[in-house]
Structure 1
């Protein structure tokens, strides 16, 4: 390569880097701005979740959410975290907008289907639903800080079913701590929202006036007979019926199964 050719090549390379520098300085980039947020979900052992992001037409749009076509849900996006025997954290990247079907859509809510195991059998499963809603904007954006943390506590509610009075459990989850102010959709881009699920150590009867609590545990009221499926106490604090644990054990006190000393 001659000296002139080398100089020309060097000048061409300098021009390339100069243009690239102008693009960076002016904010031009091939990287698209983030139009999603990260949803971190902390789960106790034995839990699994399914998430559903729901979308609605952007404010001012006259279109409607496109109809479902086969497995395509333009107004919904689904997420899942499988059950684990250990505590786990699920990380979902949730889009804030969608144009599927040709209608500009924005995120309206994220719903959780929460499942938890309380026994080894397939049907020893409790389920509840909870979620987060989002709005266009906050009149006072300073009220919401990031990462935003929701704390949701789940609790087992126990009852007996069937002629053999098997223990079954119902899962109940509720929000115990939520961020102050509105979770503003237009502030979420590139941010993180954390949802922490915990499980209460204290279990409670599913229905009132059916169990009586003693120092050694809960005793199931007799009701009208051993076969009475409702078995309300109705002031009778001395007559109780045995029941079966999910694993088949015959018990008289919940959750210890038998009274101390027996």
Structure 2
């Protein structure tokens, strides 16, 4: 039977920064899995969770958790690295763990990225792909299907000292040749991806924008934080006042008046 350790241990030796875990005596046939490749920018880490459900027509249920064994979930992880990194995962499309025939339903990602030295200076975003029943005779995806995910930092101030905090937002971006491709729109047909590769490329936008509208004003030298009703106003909407602003602090503690350059 497959265990969490086994599936995590299927990460290829070429993956950067992954701890290899031991495998059980079971094996997964090449045609019963797909290869997931993730390309991450510097300062990123990723956790993956493959979720399985009973095969269509089966009356059984997903077996309950037993110890560290999760029949309906398989876990994958790529640790944070200060450099750009690429990870390879072998993801089973089916499982018979616990005696119930299971099929892959979703593969969800939890992406973390650091924006400062403190352990709290981390943004998190969630994304993923879903699968459905289908036929291997349906229009087939290419041997390597590339999916683009663009991430962007959204900044705001938090707390009485108005420290800069950032929220990470990631969205799918279709390449021109994918604009009308049904393979990348909606759930992917499971049978089409047997023995194939899905490559997910994460990028980070160069420009950061405010998390909430009408709270910052953009000038040539950068963004200024609106005063609001007072220095203590935690929301501080501009409401047409584009002349009164208040200072804030960078994550490293610097006192600043403009973001991201700090000083004008």
Does the TM-score normalized on the shorter chain lie above 0.5? yes
Distance 1:72 1:33 in 2: 23
Match of 1:80 in 2: 77
Deviations 1:9-38 (A, max 9, x none): xxxxxxxxxxxxxxxxxxxxxx95531111
Deviations 1:27-72 (A, max 9, x none): xxxx955311110000000000000001111111111111222321
Larger Rg: 1
Distance 1:139 1:36 in 2: 14
Distance 2:211 2:140 in 1: 37
User: Does 1:181 find its partner at 2:186?
Assistant: no
RMSD of the alignment, in Å? 1.6
- Displacement, 1:190? 1.4
- Displacement, 1:140? 7.7
Runs of 4+ in 1 over 6 A off after TM superposition: none
Match of 2:92 in 1: 95
3-state DSSP class of the match of 1:186? helix
- Please say if residues 143 and 181 of structure 1, whose CA atoms lie closer than 8 Å, have aligned partners that are also in contact: no
**Alignment TM-score, normalising by the size of structure 2:** 0.83
Structure 1 residues 140, 154: CA separation in 2 closer, same or farther (over 3 Å shift)?
A: farther
Match of 1:107 in 2: 104
Structure 1 residues 64, 238: CA separation in 2 closer, same or farther (over 3 Å shift)?
A: same
Q: What is the number of residues matched between the two proteins?
A: 229
List alignment gaps of at least 5 residues for structure 1. 1-30
- Displacement, 1:142? 2.3
Match of 2:220 in 1: 215
Q: How does 1:148-227 map to 2 (within 5 A)?
A: 148-177=145-174, 180-182=181-183, 183-227=188-232
* Bigger shift: residues 225-234 or 135-144: 135-144
3-state DSSP class of the match of 1:194? strand
**Alignment TM-score, normalising by the size of structure 1:** 0.84
- Displacement, 1:188? 1.4
* Bigger shift: residues 230-239 or 182-191: 182-191
Distance 1:138 1:219 in 2: 55
Pick the aligned partner of 2:252 from 231, 247, 250.
Answer: 247
- Displacement, 1:146? 2.6
